[in-house]
Structure 1
């Protein structure tokens, strides 16, 4: 699932891109003139559909199926990316996992699975992206956090811990690579309408909206716009920051 052709266009890599927020982000970059690389965990049919949509937007595309916490698979993917494009301008770490439950009864496997995807996977992709960005002394990394890092709900100890780690990672890596021309920021979404949150929003729509100053749920496109903002080279003076896009949930 690739097109072997070098490019002088900017290149963006989006993890977990086949649905919801990740899909919206990938298509937004394609529409802004970027060539794309993306990865996904399991649904090949959705990956094929996304690939076609990206190509219709006029962009080249490379896709790869993997577990983001699998170091060997991540290294292989970056090898393919470098061979096809020879550059990487933007990395968006969107892939994430939830396994909610009260800590008192939570299995260790549920702790490890969430941390592996949300933290270890993000670190692996950041590491490999920095290797590609250093020679150019430019690049932008945008990690997806969550308002749960600062305002968690019951049953989210593993998820909240993972997103708190993502925000700490964002700041620490910004310090490491800032003088090399690489910026690292994060976006923290609030309540966004996706397939993953559909049942929750249906069951608790009234209660949730009462906590939102905007009085409505966000769309995946709202997060995509925030990611685009942080990724733009014109915003070179922004690094090590977490941009909360939550309709005022934290303040509500």
Structure 2
């Protein structure tokens, strides 16, 4: 399958498990992929070697996305690597600390908001400028063709915050609102903007670190298992593909049906 053949995609936070799964699915669907990392360079370079070995064109780029000027530099370098093109951006990079409100400082709040929200704003703004100039590229579906797609990784906690996650949940709710606003303003430029809101995603050591939480999630999920990074990657591939050419400003919940469970 090559739903994304000819596309040039930038995946932020590709050194994490979620970003890893998204990048893998984009490469498998034929996209050229720029992998961003802030730290964790060894993990992302190992992923890059695997993808190159499978025939994909890949580059690793490093940037601190809590700094808007670094976001702009990252997008510029990805587009230059792509021959002046960038057709898809997936904003995956983020942090999820656990901290009660009573102990939270303004600095703690700003760290989460700058990483999870301000970086989304800055990367999207920079990418939109590139995408505006390339209408009629791969995936063109209307007169002039779309300039590209942007997908933010939000969370089910945007609607259902957990204790100790006030800053995280607020930042993810704002990410959903940003996507809707950006979809309206950038639609005239041929750019679609959506969010994907995952539920609990499996990762190494999770069951040992949070056994009670994992048990509760498995009981709540209609399909009987936790999510996998590739499940979120599939949703992102769909939103970046021509199959979603009339979808923008939408929040796609990927939680195995957990949010459909009744509370009584």
- Residue 150 of structure 1 and its aligned partner are, at CA, apart by 0.5
1:185 has 2:194 as partner: yes
* Cα distance between partner residues in 2 of 1:208 and 1:234: 31
- Structure 1 residues 1-252: aligned runs within 5 Å: 9-85=6-82, 86-137=84-135, 138-195=147-204, 197-252=206-261
Alpha-carbon distance, 1:199 to partner: 4.5
Aligned to 2:144: none
2 CA distance for matches of 1:54 and 1:201?
A: 32
Q: Describe the SS at the equivalent of 1:115.
A: helix
User: Secondary structure of 1:187's partner?
Assistant: strand
Give the distance between the partners of 2:109 and 2:70, measured in 1 at CA.
22
TM-score (norm 1): 0.92
Q: Which secondary structure does the structure 2 equivalent of 1:194 belong to?
A: coil
Do the aligned residues in 1 keep the contact of 2:207 with 2:214 (CA within 8 Å)? no
Contact 2:221 2:256 in 1 (8 A): yes
C-alpha contact 1:209 1:215 (8 A) present in aligned 2? yes
Q: TM-score of the superposition, structure 2-length normalised?
A: 0.88
